[in-house]
């Protein structure tokens, strides 16, 4: 870059803005404020210009300081301080870009356009070194220019306009929908209305792409409802994949945990504090869950009947924690206590400490606290003496 430069006063009529200046957004209120300051105190920092040649000989193009130039014209100045540098197109573009990059109020779209201009003179590698960033960052800046203009405009903050939470991250997420600009704009409005995070927007976009028939629903419902729908749809997709034994065991633990949580929440006093519409919603949710549970229960019962000869749906309760289990379970799924105890069996004669079915002596200590080697552990003749608490009716298919 040439170091030749002259500082002088220059007639404003000889100064021209650069046609491809990186900064395109100038707000009138901000310019009026700067113009008022210039009238009172003058231009405190000279702008940088370069001489033009050819038909524009005698004129000078702004390299840095267009905002000060515009405000000086508004202030009525006829001349202003400048630094004249002899710069070629590449050096002028670089200086203009670096000066604007240092400004906090330069929006992401303007930065991307400036980088695009630099690439007319430089390679990606040189642009990255000039800006002190990685090539990946340079390419990510340019991605914003792939968005339609109406989305790009959302990244240009306007003084005095209400603040929104739509930012560069949201804009980048919308690049995946460049083939559907109308949906992009509807999602912009949804981000601002529902205050969606970038992660939530990403999730909705992925869902729209994966389940296009549900697009209208995702565009209308709240983010929490959309999240529930996505999880439900994903679960249905998961069911189409090959099932593994380990997955079954993990699901069993999860089902037990969730059902316990739901059971604990089912306090009928809730209806005393819900409005009519809310009770309708609650009943619909519970009814839907009941239908799904009934179908699931039928499948499990059917599998037991088909695989386990002599299956009988008899329920017993754990003597330690009270959990109700099927007689086919060997241990309590909550506290792991052995369930079949001679002490609770209808074939056990407590006074004589003897099993009438097996005609075998079983001492009371073993009858009350059986081990895995005890006769009752897997006894096929086990017959509960009492109906389990809360299980008065036999559950049958």
Catalytic annotation, residues: 66
Burial pattern 198-214, b for ≥16 Cβ within 10 A else e, equals: bebbbbbbebbeebeeb
Strand partners, 80: 10
| Among 124, 151, 117, residue whose Cα is nearest residue 139 | 124
| CA–CA dist 126, 123 (Å, integer) | 5
Phi, psi of 317 (to 5 degrees): -115, 150
Task: Using CB atoms within 10 Å of the CB of residue 47, give its burial: 0 to 12 exposed, 13 to 18 middle, 19+ buried.
Answer: buried
CA dihedral over 218, 221, 223, 224, signed as positive or negative: negative
Within a 13 Å sphere around the CA of 297, how many CA atoms are in the beta-carbon half?
Answer: 10
Phi, psi of 257 (to 5 degrees): -65, -45
Residue with tokens 């390679």: 123
Give the tokens for residue 332.
Answer: 């309590």
167 contacts: CB under 8 Å, gap ≥ 6: 155, 198
Contact 116, 145 (CB under 8 A): yes
245 contacts: CB under 8 Å, gap ≥ 6: none
| CA–CA dist 380, 53 (Å, integer) | 105
Query: Which own/partner contact pairs does 259-262 have at CB distance under 8 Å and 24+ positions apart?
Result: 262/289
């Amino acid at each position: 870059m040439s170091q030749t430069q002259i500082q002088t006063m220059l007639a404003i009529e000889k100064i021209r803005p650069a046609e491809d200046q990186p900064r395109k957004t100038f707000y009138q209120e901000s310019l009026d404020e700067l113009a008022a300051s210039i009238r009172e105190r003058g231009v405190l920092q000279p702008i940088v210009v370069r001489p033009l040649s050819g038909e524009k000989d005698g004129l000078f193009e702004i390299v840095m300081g267009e905002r000060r130039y515009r405000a000086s014209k508004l202030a009525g100045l006829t001349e202003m301080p400048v630094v004249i540098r002899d710069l070629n197109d590449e050096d002028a573009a670089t200086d203009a870009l670096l000066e604007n990059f240092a400004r906090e109020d330069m929006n992401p779209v303007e930065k991307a356009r400036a980088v695009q201009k630099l690439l007319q003179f430089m390679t990606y590698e040189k642009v990255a070194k000039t800006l002190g960033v990685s090539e990946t960052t340079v390419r990510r800046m340019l991605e914003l220019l792939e968005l339609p203009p109406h989305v790009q405009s959302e990244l240009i903050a306007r003084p005095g306009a209400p603040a929104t939470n739509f930012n560069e991250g949201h804009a980048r997420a919308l690049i995946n929908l460049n083939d559907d600009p109308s949906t992009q704009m509807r999602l912009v409005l949804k981000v601002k209305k529902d205050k969606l995070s970038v992660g939530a927007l990403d999730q909705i976009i992925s869902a729209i792409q994966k389940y296009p028939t549900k697009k209208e629903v995702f565009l209308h419902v709240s983010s929490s409802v959309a999240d529930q729908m996505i999880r439900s749809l994903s679960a249905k997709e998961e069911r189409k994949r090959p099932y593994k034994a380990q997955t079954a065991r993990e699901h069993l633990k999860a089902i037990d945990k969730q059902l316990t949580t739901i059971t604990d929440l089912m306090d009928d006093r809730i209806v005393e504090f819900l409005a009519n519409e809310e009770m309708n919603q609650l009943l619909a949710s519970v009814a839907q869950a009941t239908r799904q549970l009934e179908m699931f229960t039928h499948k499990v019962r059917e599998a037991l009947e088909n695989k386990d000869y002599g299956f009988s749906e008899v329920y017993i309760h754990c003597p330690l924690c009270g959990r109700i289990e099927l007689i086919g379970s060997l241990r309590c799924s909550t506290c792991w206590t052995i369930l079949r105890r001679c002490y609770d069996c209808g074939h056990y004669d407590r006074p004589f400490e003897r099993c009438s079915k097996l005609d075998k002596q079983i001492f009371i200590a073993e009858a009350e606290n059986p081990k895995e080697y005890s006769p009752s552990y897997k006894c096929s003749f086990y017959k509960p003496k009492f109906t389990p608490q809360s299980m008065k009716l036999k559950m049958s298919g």
